[in-house]
Amino acid sequence: MAYIETGVNQPGIIELLFYKGATGKALSNLAHTLLHGPSDLSSGERELIASYVSKLNNCDFCHDSHTAAVNAHLGDNGTTVQCVIDNVETADISEKMKWLLRIAGKVQISGREVAQSDVDAAKAHGATDQDIHDTVLIAAAFCMYNRYVDGLGTKRASGEEYTEMGQRMSKGYKYPPLFMRKYVINMMNKKAAKG
């Protein structure tokens, strides 16, 4: 459970999203738009950016859950994410994605770290203005999500929970209607109690 009493027995951001419905719905909608909305980048590529930034922020829950979503999209049992974590420069991804991840890594430090030369290099390797926009926004948003999850001391999920979570996340981040929130919390808590 988190540092605060939420009444929601779920790991990571799930606990926080259901604690306060208005912010939970807004944050879920933002994640859905960023990772599944219209973009020239695939959902798998956008999840890779989220996973990478979460790793740089040492947010274990977000890194593991978004890695599971990447795995669901790519079906490569974590090979791509592990190669990116080990060394972006030698990872078996496109030069465009390498440049976008470099930009995301700079955003993780500070938005001011990104220079025109980074943008120009990404464009020279095939990135569009929209790709760069989406990368910066995903990286910035995941700094917020990571700090939200860790700042309130949420618990990690168990290893096997991440695979199922990744499958759900690969389909989107839809929040239930607010009038059903208490019912959903009750069902999640009952399921968690059964272990």
pLDDT category of residue 116 using cuts at 50, 70 and 90 = very high
- pLDDT 10s digits, 7-19: 999 999 999 999 9
- pLDDT 10s digits, 65-80: 999 999 999 999 889 9
Please give the pLDDT value at position 117.
Answer: 98
pLDDT category of residue 150 using cuts at 50, 70 and 90 = very high
Average the pLDDT over 141-149 and give the result.
Answer: 98
* Domains defined for the chain, CATH in brackets: 42-194 (1.20.1290.10)
Q: Contact, 47 vs 69, CB < 8 A?
A: yes
Give yes or no for residue 3 having a pLDDT over 90. Answer: yes
Please give the pLDDT value at position 98.
Answer: 98
How much is the pTM? 0.95
What's the whole-number average pLDDT of the chain? 96
Handedness of CA 59, 60, 65, 67 (dihedral sign): positive
pLDDT category of residue 131 using cuts at 50, 70 and 90 = very high
CA 175 to chain CA centroid, nearest Å = 16
pLDDT category of residue 159 using cuts at 50, 70 and 90 = confident
Please give the pLDDT value at position 77.
Answer: 86
Q: What is the 3-state secondary structure (H, E, C) of the chain?
A: CCCCCCCCCCCHHHHHHHHCHHHHHHHHHHHHHHHHCCCCCCHHHHHHHHHHHHHHCCCHHHHHHHHHHHHHHHCCCCHHHHHHHHCHHHCCCCHHHHHHHHHHHHHHHCHHHCCHHHHHHHHHCCCCHHHHHHHHHHHHHHHHHHHHHHHCCCCCCCHHHHHHHHHHHCCCCCCCCHHHHHHHHHHHHHHHHHC
Average the pLDDT over 96-114 and give the result.
Answer: 98
Please give the pLDDT value at position 11.
Answer: 96
- pLDDT 10s digits, 165-192: 999 999 999 999 999 999 999 999 998 8
